[in-house]
Amino acid sequence: MEKRTDEELVQAYREGEDAAFPTLIRRHHADLLRFLVRLTGNAAVAEDAFQETFLQVHLSAESFDTTRRFKPWLFTIAANKARDALRRSSRRKTLDLSAPISGGRGGGGGGGDGQGQTYVDLMEIDVPAPGDAMDDEERNRLVQQALDGMPHALREILLLAYFQRMSYNQVADALDIPLGTVKSRLHSAVAAFARRWKTVSKGYSE
Report if residue 101 sits inside a domain.
no
Report if residue 62 sits inside a domain.
yes
Residue 140 and residue 83 share a domain: no
Residue 136 and residue 81 share a domain: no
> Is-contact 123 162, C-beta < 8 A?
yes
**What is the average pLDDT across 122-138?**
48
Report if residue 94 sits inside a domain.
no
What phi, psi does 118 have (nearest 5°)?
A: -115, 165
Q: Rounded to the nearest 10 degrees, how much is the dihedral formed by the CA atoms of 19, 51, 151, 96?
A: -60
Angle at alpha carbon of residue 39, lines to 35 and 44, rounded to 5°: 85
What pLDDT, on the 0 to 100 scale, is given for residue 198?
Answer: 83
Residue 127 and residue 197 share a domain: yes
Report if residue 73 sits inside a domain.
yes
Residue 131 and residue 75 share a domain: no
What pLDDT, on the 0 to 100 scale, is given for residue 52?
Answer: 93
Higher pLDDT: 125 or 44? It is: 44
Q: Provide the number of structural domains found in the chain.
A: 2
Ranked by mean pLDDT, the top range of 35-44, 51-60, 77-86, 116-125 is: 51-60
Give pLDDT tens digits for 89-113: 754 443 333 334 343 333 333 334 4
Higher pLDDT: 99 or 15? It is: 15
Residue 73 and residue 138 share a domain: no
Residue 81 and residue 123 share a domain: no
Report if residue 42 sits inside a domain.
yes
Report if residue 67 sits inside a domain.
yes
CATH number at residue 135: 1.10.10.10
% of residues, the chain, pLDDT over 90: 27
How far is Cα 51 from Cα 47, in angstroms, rounded to an integer? 6
CATH number at residue 36: 1.10.1740.10
Using pLDDT thresholds of 50, 70 and 90, give the confidence band for residue 138: confident
**Domain of 165, in residue numbers:** 119-201
Arithmetic mean of pLDDT over the chain: 76
Residue 133 and residue 61 share a domain: no
For the whole model, what pTM was predicted? 0.65
Residue 125 and residue 195 share a domain: yes
> Is-contact 174 160, C-beta < 8 A?
yes
Residue 131 and residue 72 share a domain: no
Residue 128 and residue 65 share a domain: no
What pLDDT, on the 0 to 100 scale, is given for residue 32?
Answer: 93
Report if residue 184 sits inside a domain.
yes
Report if residue 129 sits inside a domain.
yes
